[in-house]
Chains A and B, each alone.
Chain A
Amino acid sequence: GNSVTQMEGPVTLSEEAFLTINCTYTATGYPSLFWYVQYPGEGLQLLLKATKADDKGSNKGFEATYRKETTSFHLEKGSVQVSDSAVYFCALSVQYGGSQGNLIFGKGTKLSVKP
């Protein structure tokens, strides 16, 4: 079956620290991979995505590279800010049966950045 495993939180960092949130997946077929972010009091929103192997998604200083050989899509940022404090969800989408596909999420990782 299809599944997503991401590192457990919470993660607490100081401002300007380097961030890595690990995500690995299991999928049949060729999934697209996503990172969604949920800021306090807000709905989930797409942060970045990659649709094929070796693609790199990037947005707001965050990056993630689709690694087929290690079935991973780790999220990284070189210098975090207090405003990056949020819950981050790794997700995959696999097309099936001609439908638009379901989105399967990891459990989420809460990031807190201290000034």
Chain B
Amino acid sequence: GAGVSQSPSNKVTEKGKDVELRCDPISGHTALYWYRQRLGQGLEFLIYFQGNSAPDKSGLPSDRFSAERTGESVSTLTIQRTQQEDSAVYLCASKGGGRYNSPLHFGNGTRLTVT
């Protein structure tokens, strides 16, 4: 597609439920990143994929968070047993070019609200 697509754009869930967030990167982009942006805060790195593997998952805040990527394309971020502190905008970005200083292309994010 023309850009990075994320779905849903908004998600309201009850505390304790599981949620899945989806990211469709730009076609051909091998690197894919997930970030979290809490209200009034900066971007917090969660996980990075190179192809289908995740060389850096150091930002995942707890074992309730997991992510996978298949076909070097779509990625899903899963949050189990959601807590109110999980409320945030979850941003996905992809990068091509093969160079570490290539720019990231961001989706519009999924706004997650845990009630």
Q: A43-B106, A49-B101, A100-B95 are in contact. Are A107 and B55 (CB under 8 A)?
A: no
- Which residues of B have CB within 8 Å of A51? 101
Contact status B42-A89, CB under 8 Å: yes
Contact status B43-A89, CB under 8 Å: yes
Contact status B103-A100, CB under 8 Å: no
Interface size range on B against A: 20 to 34
Q: How far is the CB of A96 from chain B (nearest CB, A)?
A: 8
Contact status B43-A46, CB under 8 Å: no
Q: Look across to chain B and name the residue whose beta carbon is closest to the beta carbon of A41.
A: B108
- Which residues of A have CB within 8 Å of B99? 100
- Which residues of A have CB within 8 Å of B106? 36, 43-45
Q: How many A-B residue pairs have CB under 8 A?
A: 64
Say yes or no: is B112 at the interface (Cβ < 8 Å to chain A): no
The CA of A94 and the CA of B100, in the complex, are separated in Å by 7
Looking at A44, A45, A97, which has the most chain B CB atoms within 10 Å of its CB? A44
Say yes or no: is A104 at the interface (Cβ < 8 Å to chain B): yes
Contact status A101-B108, CB under 8 Å: no
Looking at A49, A95, A100, A103, which has the most chain B CB atoms within 10 Å of its CB? A100
Say yes or no: is B41 at the interface (Cβ < 8 Å to chain A): yes
Contact status A108-B42, CB under 8 Å: yes
**Given B35, B42, B50, B102, which contacts A99 in the complex, CB threshold below 8 Å?**
B50
- Which residues of B have CB within 8 Å of A49? 101, 103
Binding site for B on A (CB under 8 A): 32, 34, 36, 42-46, 49, 51, 89, 93-95, 97, 99-108
Binding site for A on B (CB under 8 A): 4, 30-31, 33, 35, 41-43, 45, 48, 50, 55-56, 91, 93, 95, 98-104, 106-109
